[in-house]
């Protein structure tokens, strides 16, 4: 597959009164054309900082890219000037933020906000931009777009506002769409509608998406591949099936085990103990070691490398070392694997009929 974005050894820090916060510590991943990569992890793991750094939207100071490359279209975005980035933002790479109400200007009609990017990047006339804005509002599922184009953000519901934000992000047919928890502020029914809308638009426009979320339920419905972040690092990456049915990192086990399940017994509600690491003084070994019931002695002393599980699946845990003791994953993870095996055997049986 054709790679559209490559992030190599990215380090991002923030200088604070308390010291240097190492928010992102050596992140590596790539994004293929037309795919959706989900980045998951609890709050403070570095997900949003990663996405905002790609767009060069972290405030400088106090933020800074200490090291690494962000390769897109033959250019390293980390080294571009602000003026050069302005030509890329909105045109080639767009972003959908978490809260649509703070993303939209309350004093401007929504039509004008969609038209801005079209006039700047596509060089359309006002009348052509207005026609395209009406078309985009219809595309994202807003009824009577020719009427609603003249309304203000406060006249829209939360879900409709998020649709407007998606219309703005897609206005210039970007190659990459960064969605930073775009459904967090919405109720479950509207969440499902927005996710279906994004999947539908991706098929029509062949846009590559980086979907930032802490909700693994959303991931299962929207992503092709999943990167799990913890303590400013990617600790596991693989296809959706590999992460959900064959997870290898204890942190991924914890995330999956803490998902609400209708099958779970009353005494099976799981929570990962402890709290995320202090990134002013990051731990010496594996950042997850102190919260990890399966931690080995080496986890407290040496950071694990990325071990290869398959051509598409990698995990940074010493449990994958050839000399590591064999560890039984938690009951919920074992059940997930068994569910996958049963579905595979069922599919094979139906093939032979």
Q: Where are the domains of the chain?
A: 35-59+75-92+176-353, 100-173
The whole-number pLDDT of residue 101 equals 76
Calpha distance 97→152 (Å, rounded): 18
The 10s digit of each residue's pLDDT in 303-316 is 999 999 999 999 99
Given a cut of 80, whether residue 199 has pLDDT beyond it is yes
Mean pLDDT of all residues in the chain?
87
The 10s digit of each residue's pLDDT in 23-81 is 999 999 999 998 999 999 988 889 999 999 999 999 888 999 999 999 998 899 999 99
118 burial type by CB count under 10 A (0-12 exposed, 13-18 middle, 19+ buried): buried
What are the φ/ψ torsions at residue 145 (nearest 5 degrees)? Answer: -60, -30
Fold held by 35-59+75-92+176-353: Rossmann fold (3.40.50)
Closest to 235 measured CA to CA, from 315, 313, 308: 315
Quick one: pLDDT band at residue 348, thresholds 50, 70, 90? very low
Query: In the beta sheet, which residues pair with residue 67?
Result: 11
The whole-number pLDDT of residue 155 equals 92
The 10s digit of each residue's pLDDT in 247-285 is 999 999 988 888 766 665 655 667 888 888 989 998 888
Residues of the chain above pLDDT 70, percent? 92
Given a cut of 70, whether residue 352 has pLDDT beyond it is no
- pTM for the complete prediction? 0.88
The 10s digit of each residue's pLDDT in 8-20 is 999 999 999 999 9
């Amino acid at each position: 597959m054709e790679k559209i974005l490559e992030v190599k050894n990215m380090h991002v820090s923030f200088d604070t009164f308390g010291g240097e916060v190492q928010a992102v510590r050596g992140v590596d991943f790539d994004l293929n054309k037309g795919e959706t990569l989900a980045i998951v992890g609890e709050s403070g793991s570095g997900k949003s900082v990663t996405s905002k750094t790609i767009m060069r939207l972290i405030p400088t100071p106090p933020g800074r890219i200490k090291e690494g490359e962000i390769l897109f279209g033959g250019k390293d975005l980390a080294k571009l000037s602000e003026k050069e980035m302005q030509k890329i933002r909105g045109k080639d790479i767009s972003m959908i933020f978490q809260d649509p109400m703070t993303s939209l200007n309350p004093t401007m009609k929504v039509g004008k906000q969609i038209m801005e990017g079209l006039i700047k990047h596509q060089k359309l006339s006002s009348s052509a931009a207005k026609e395209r804005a009406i078309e985009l509002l219809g595309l994202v599922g807003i009824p009577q777009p020719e009427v609603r184009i003249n309304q203000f953000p406060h006249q829209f519901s939360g879900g409709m506002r998020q649709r407007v934000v998606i219309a703005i992000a897609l206005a210039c047919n970007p190659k990459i769409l960064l969605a930073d928890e775009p459904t967090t502020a919405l109720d479950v029914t509207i969440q499902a509608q927005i996710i279906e809308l994004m999947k539908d638009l991706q098929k029509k426009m062949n846009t590559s998406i980086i979907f930032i979320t802490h909700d693994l339920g959303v991931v299962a419905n929207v992503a092709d591949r999943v990167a799990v972040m913890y303590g400013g690092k990617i600790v596991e990456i693989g296809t959706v099936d590999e992460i959900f049915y064959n997870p290898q990192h204890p942190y991924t086990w914890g995330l999956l085990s803490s998902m609400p399940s209708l099958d779970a017994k009353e005494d099976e509600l799981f929570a990962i103990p402890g709290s995320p690491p202090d990134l002013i003084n990051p731990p010496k070994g594996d950042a997850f070691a102190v919260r990890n019931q399966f931690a080995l002695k080496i986890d407290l002393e040496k950071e694990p490398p990325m071990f290869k599980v398959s051509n598409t699946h990698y995990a940074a845990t010493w449990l994958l070392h050839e000399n590591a003791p064999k560890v039984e994953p938690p009951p919920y993870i074992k059940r997930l694997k068994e569910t996958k095996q049963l579905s595979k055997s069922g599919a094979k049986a139906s093939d032979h009929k």
